[in-house]
Structure 1
Amino acid sequence: MTDTQTPPAPPPPPTTPTRRLLEVRDLEVTYAGGAAAVRGVNLTVDAGQKLGLAGESGCGKSTLALALLRLLPSRTRVSGEILLDGEDVLTMKWGRVRAVRWAGASIVFQGAMHSLNAVHRVGDQIAEPILLHRKATPAGARKKAGELLEHVGLPAARASAYPHELSGGQRQRVMIAMALACDPRLVIADEPTTALDVMIQAQILRLIEQLVAEQDLGLVMISHDLAVLADTCDRLAVMYAGRVVEEGPAQQVYENARHPYGQALSAAFPRIGDTASRFAPRGLPGDPPDPSGLPSGCTFHPRCPAALPSCATEDQPLREAGRGHWAACVHVAAGTPDPAGAATEGKAVGEARSSSP
């Protein structure tokens, strides 16, 4: 019997390095008059990655989206860094900014009927950025517009339609086609399905997912609906009063939020088959604070059921709350397994504080 030697294992296949499309560092946005709409936000988006931004109206989501492409009013103060493919958008000359819009990054605004020009055919509106950025002929731009419409599930013949001749879902598909007109690397979708019924909403979300996967795009999707973002995105960042208060894998943040605000957003949507949430829906009283008059300490503490006395004076940075999961909560800092577990204690402390002379 001859000895046989086990051949060495083949080397692992080379891995393709992840391409960082967007990196936001310490972004601060203050409107004229002193309203701090975005405060110290740090985010990253890689090629092929879908990042969701969640929060109530007034939490800074749309301001952040507009800041990414320098679409804010001229008197707005913006500081920090917005690196698109390693180049800082905030320090670009205006000619470079105009070149980056559409071709480097594009945006899908909420409410397609308000974003489209009512007196121009949709094909002409899709062709406009192609003519500007790709130096195409009018015939070539019209052909490309028809191809884009087919790519998002509409017949090329619909290019001759006016916006009012299309349904809400069709108009939203036109907006997506327009955003893809110049082959951008990053797409920002600001509440792209807010005005749509649930069936059309599902179609649009699947379309966006498909396009991101096929073209290796980066996606920033903004919504107040945590369930939609958890179903669509890879990672999820929850914003409150201009700050990211929780960030992590989308399903993990949705199902096991560690910040009381993330928990409140998640609980606001009843789950199918969960009779407890159906018969006793949970909500969150009050509204986000005015950016021009933020409370001291943790800005969420006036509405927080788990607030401690220290929350009124001490703000909390993001701390690790699990693998790849971060939350800005005193209970995470103290090692409390679940901030909701401290809700009863926090409520009692709050009642005692309010009844004291």
Structure 2
Amino acid sequence: MTLLEVRNLEVTYAGGAAAVRGVDLAVEAGQKLGIAGESGCGKSTLALALLRLLPAGARTSGEILLDGEDVLTMKWGRVRAVRWAGASIVFQGAMHSLNAVHRIGDQIAEPILLHRKATPAGARSRTGELLEHVGLPAARADAYPHELSGGQRQRVMIAMALACDPQLVIADEPTTALDVMIQAQILRLIEQLVAEQDVGLIMISHDLAVLADTCDRLAVMYAGRVVEEGPARQVYENAQHPYGKALSAAFPRIGDAASRFAPRGLPGDPPDPAALPSGCTFHPRCAVALDSCGTQDQVLRAAGGGRWAACVHVEATAQESAPEPEADDARSTA
């Protein structure tokens, strides 16, 4: 069953900065979709748009179908009902997301009281269950955020996201600023909870290795667009788009002396959303760009095995080695 379907989503901020440009995505029940890219590629804007959490000056168009209902056309009362109960979000940086002057138990209980119409006693009981479910003693409900470690606060955010049994959980950089041991614990916890409750998960990160280990499918974003999508492990190990290859190569492999002593990066910086280059937006940084890439935009094209990539080289390879494509074998990213 398709929980979420995003169709041609566009997000433009005040001043004309196009942060998300024609994104199409889908998440099934029990599926884990990763979204990767450099800072400024539109990952967090996409996450906020899914629950209409963008600032007032942002303009959106397209469709965000959550269980068949378009979030962008919902009345505000319906949007409030959907948040936490239909879809919830784990924000980046738990210390900044939790209220410093309220006990964590009260903060977890708030959506339970609002959406499930529980009694105060019932909300407290549910809060204790949730804390224990994420590996914290129920007694920690009386603690304030500053009394918890970074990993414990992140667990509180996950407990809050699961409080009303949502169908979809959006995790925006859920392991930012955590050490590698705690990061591994949090990732395993998220995987376990998704599997147990059969919810859909969207996990956003700049770290392809984390997403490859955690997610089923992976979408790579650049300059507000999805430039590659496919099975997570395949995208990480054998990216078809030059940008995906550069992201993957930026992370050294354990035991690989070549990557340890000669780490590879990507020259230049992501483009300004308010002044995007013509043609393929990645061409100024691309080592294999053709002259045509500076004038001709690219579309997502089938790259085999359920994979898509927006690159002229993928198109050329497909034409040489594959039969004539079907009518739906090209998807515009415009």
**TM-score category by the smaller chain?**
over 0.9
Q: Deviations over 1:209-257 (max 9, x none)?
A: 0000000000000000000000000000000000000000000000000
Normalised by the size of structure 2, how large is the TM-score? 0.95
Q: Which of 245, 256, 281 matches 1:299?
A: 281
Structure-1-length-normalised TM-score: 0.89
Q: What does residue 182 of structure 2 align with?
A: 200
1:282 maps to which of 264, 269, 275:
264
Runs (4+) off by over 2 Å: none
CA distance in structure 2 between the aligned counterparts of 1:330 and 1:185, rounded to whole angstroms? 37
Which of residues 232, 235, 254 in structure 2 aligns to 1:272?
Answer: 254
What is the aligned-residue RMSD (CA, Å)? 0.9
Whole-Å separation in 1 of the counterparts to 2:239 and 2:125: 47
Measure the CA separation in 2 of the matches of 1:109 and 1:75. 21
- Counterpart among 160, 168, 181 of residue 163 in structure 2: 181
1:57 maps onto 2:36 in alignment: no
Unaligned runs of 5+ in 2: 320-334
Structure ID, larger Rg: 1
Q: Which residue identity lines up with residue 48 of structure 2 in the other structure? A: L
* Distance of 1:111 and 1:153 partners within structure 2: 19
Which of residues 4, 8, 13 is equivalent to 1:31? 13
Q: What is the match of residue 148 of structure 1?
A: 130
Task: Quote how far apart the aligned CAs of 1:75 are.
Answer: 2.1
Could you report, residue by residue, the CA deviation over 1:270-317 in whole angstroms, capped at 9, with x for unpaired residues?
A: 001111111110001111101000000000001111111100000110
Paired amino acid for 1:67: A
- Partner residue in 1 for 2:83: 101
- Cα distance between partner residues in 2 of 1:299 and 1:123: 46
How far 1:266 sits from its partner (Å)? 0.2
**Counterparts of 2:199 and 2:193 in 1: how far apart (Å)?**
8
Aligned residue number for residue 14 of structure 1: none
Letter in structure 2 aligned against 1:243: R
Match of 1:260 in 2: 242
Contact 2:65 2:71 in 1 (8 A): yes
Residue aligned with 2:106, SS: helix
**For structure 1, which runs of at least 5 residues remain unmatched after alignment?**
1-18, 338-357
The secondary structure found in structure 2 opposite 1:103 is: coil
Equivalenced residue count is 319
What's the CA shift for 1:336? 7.3
Deviations 1:153-194 (A, max 9, x none): 100000011001100000000000000011100000000001
Alignment of 1:172-251 (within 5 A): 172-251=154-233
The amino acid across from 1:89 in the alignment is: V
Within 2, Cα distance between the matches of 1:104 and 1:90?
15
